[in-house]
Amino acid sequence: MLAALGIGKSDLALLAASELTPALVGDPPGPEFSFANFTALFRCVSLARALRISIAELVRLAGTSSGLTGMDPFASPAGTLAFIDQIEALRDSDFSTNELDWLLRHRFTGLDPLDEATIGRELGTLARGLNTIEAEVEQLADPDGAALTLNLPELLEEADVTTTLAMVDRLSTLGLDQTQREQFIESTFAGILDVEAGKDVLAHYGNTDWADVVQRRAWLLARVVGHLRRRALIVDTIAAKFKIAATVVEALVDTVLSNPADGNEPLFEVFRLPFATEAEVATG
């Protein structure tokens, strides 16, 4: 069987133990030779060769319960094509199967996990960068609103930019009552700034603590620019450390990976705000 398939004993053992060949029967160390067993193995070997991946990679990538893709490439022709698309996407991402397994399932097959000292240094550098950004953006001013007009489109759709600027200026012509303005802040700025603080500054037109429009502009500008700069720092840091494209990092922190403390939040939420003071960084 090994000679007919052109694989070694280790590959046969991987296939026999995987969910890709559930029909295999026979006593260890491997299945007995039969047409059904040979066919089940042959399709796996053929697919791996066609995709130019190893048997070990196929076993780790394919399968609805244990595969990284969550796909059964043999369920249907459509399933095969979908699996092929996933393999091409993996190649385009510049990730190896080992790296993807580490990122998504914390398995270190073929990789050495980062030691605590290295993790501490990297987090310390990142924390200092975030703290610097936090301090610098608080010095920003926007007396005429030009800076907000320039930066808001980096985060919001055109209609939302218009609404936000009208709220900053407390325009009565906006046509939204306080409840509607608060709802707008919640739906538009969640994940960008402190929503409750945003309501106080922008939605509560009667708040005399923020009666000065120049003060309101500076407050919002600091949050918008701070968010943009923190995001850029995080993406650039991860991209440089792991030598992957920034677009891939963005997908990871926004969609693929979640906050360990709250699975409903993207990973970016972990680093959205400074997480350690200079004193804490210095003491490790």
pLDDT at 251 over 90: no
What six digits make up the tokens of 3? 């000679």
What six digits make up the tokens of 11? 């590959």
Does 204 map to a domain? yes
Does 37 map to a domain? yes
Does 283 map to a domain? no
Closest among 55, 86, 90 to 70, alpha carbons compared? 86
pLDDT > 70: what percent of the chain? 92
- Regarding whether 237 and 152 lie in a shared domain, the answer is yes
- Regarding whether 86 and 191 lie in a shared domain, the answer is no
Quickly state the pLDDT bin for 29 (edges 50, 70, 90): very low
Q: Which of 60, 76, 105 is the last residue of a domain?
A: 105
Does 26 map to a domain? yes
- Regarding whether 155 and 68 lie in a shared domain, the answer is no
Distance CA 242, CA 255 (A): 18
Query: How much is the average pLDDT of 1-29?
Result: 75
- Regarding whether 76 and 34 lie in a shared domain, the answer is yes
What six digits make up the tokens of 21? 């060949």
Q: Which of 53, 86, 105 is the last residue of a domain?
A: 105
- Regarding whether 93 and 17 lie in a shared domain, the answer is yes
Total domains, the chain: 2
What six digits make up the tokens of 230? 């923190």
Does 279 map to a domain? no
- Regarding whether 69 and 186 lie in a shared domain, the answer is no
Pairing of strands 258-259, 262-266: antiparallel
pLDDT at 165 over 50: yes
If you average pLDDT over every residue of the chain, what do you get? 86
Q: How far is CA 36 from CA 41, 96, 257, 266, in A?
A: 9, 32, 40, 45
Residues 174-213: tens digit of each pLDDT: 899 999 999 999 999 988 999 999 999 999 999 999 999 9
- Regarding whether 187 and 61 lie in a shared domain, the answer is no
Query: How much is the average pLDDT of 244-257?
Result: 83
Quickly state the pLDDT bin for 122 (edges 50, 70, 90): confident
The count of C-alpha atoms lying within 13 angstroms of the C-alpha of 111, restricted to the half-sphere facing its C-beta, is: 18
What six digits make up the tokens of 83? 């699996």
Quickly state the pLDDT bin for 89 (edges 50, 70, 90): confident
- Candidate from 204-208, 212-216, 251-255 with smallest mean pLDDT: 251-255
Range of the domain at 59: 2-105
b/e burial code for range 170-182 (CB count within 10 A of at least 16 → b): beeebebeeeebb
Q: How far is CA 154 from CA 148, 157, 158, 160, 161, in A?
A: 10, 8, 10, 12, 10
- Regarding whether 127 and 237 lie in a shared domain, the answer is yes
Q: Which of 42, 73, 105 is the last residue of a domain?
A: 105
At residue 66, the pLDDT reads 84
- Regarding whether 209 and 157 lie in a shared domain, the answer is yes
Does 231 map to a domain? yes
- Regarding whether 140 and 97 lie in a shared domain, the answer is no
**Highest-scoring range by mean pLDDT, 49-58, 153-162, 253-262:** 153-162
Quickly state the pLDDT bin for 113 (edges 50, 70, 90): low
- Report how far Cα 183 is from the mean position of its chain's Cα atoms: 27
Does 282 map to a domain? no
| DSSP helix/strand/coil, 32 | coil
At residue 116, the pLDDT reads 75
Does 284 map to a domain? no
b/e burial code for range 236-267 (CB count within 10 A of at least 16 → b): ebbbeeeebeeebbbebbeeeebeeeeeeebb
| DSSP helix/strand/coil, 264 | strand
- Regarding whether 192 and 129 lie in a shared domain, the answer is yes
